[in-house]
Structure 1
Amino acid sequence: MDKEAKRAHHDLGGASKFMCEPVDTEPHGLTDFDRQVDALRQVLAAKKLMTVDELRRGIEAIPEADYHRLSYYRRWIRSITDTLLRHGVISEAELRLMLEDG
């Protein structure tokens, strides 16, 4: 990579900060939350409410501090939520209500 080019915070490949950390290659079990988020993304895609490209762009748009704090599927749900709000599929008031009822 060009040393002059600024790397985006989500672009971790080859970053020296992460080069010395061992990579966990063991299979990871999915939680119920992980499965639900993946299922939601698949339903939204089937209904043409969200594309995989929108998911990726939304994840890449997460501010750096949040990006590194959130787990893999929490990044997904953040991107999904932002996309649904942007498209008017849900409103902020509906989201707040859903979160309160938890």
Structure 2
Amino acid sequence: MATHITSDCINCGACEPECPNQAISEGTDIYVIDPNLCTECVGFYDHEACQAVCPVECCLPDPNRPESEDVLIERAVHLHPEDEQLKSRASANDYPSRFRK
């Protein structure tokens, strides 16, 4: 599932710089996550970085966009074609993921 930001967002911006994919941006009233860029931090962290810094815990998995770990790591590799370490870790199935806690 891509992560989404709920209406509980206080528009603090703490989440935006944490995203390894630059999927988070300031919306009209709250911050928003582009689901086509979100990898739930698979390939980068063993947790969702936006969720970890959110003071009101409004960065949550979107139940309307279920996605597997395989889909998310493929997206991460696609979004970061220059990242040889990510490619290597993905092909070896040895990368950080919240699915592997």
Give the TM-score, by structure 2 length: 0.25
Q: Which has the higher helix share?
A: 1
Q: Which has the higher strand share?
A: 2
Give the TM-score, by structure 1 length: 0.25
Larger Rg: 1
* More RCO (CA 8 Å, sep 6+): 2
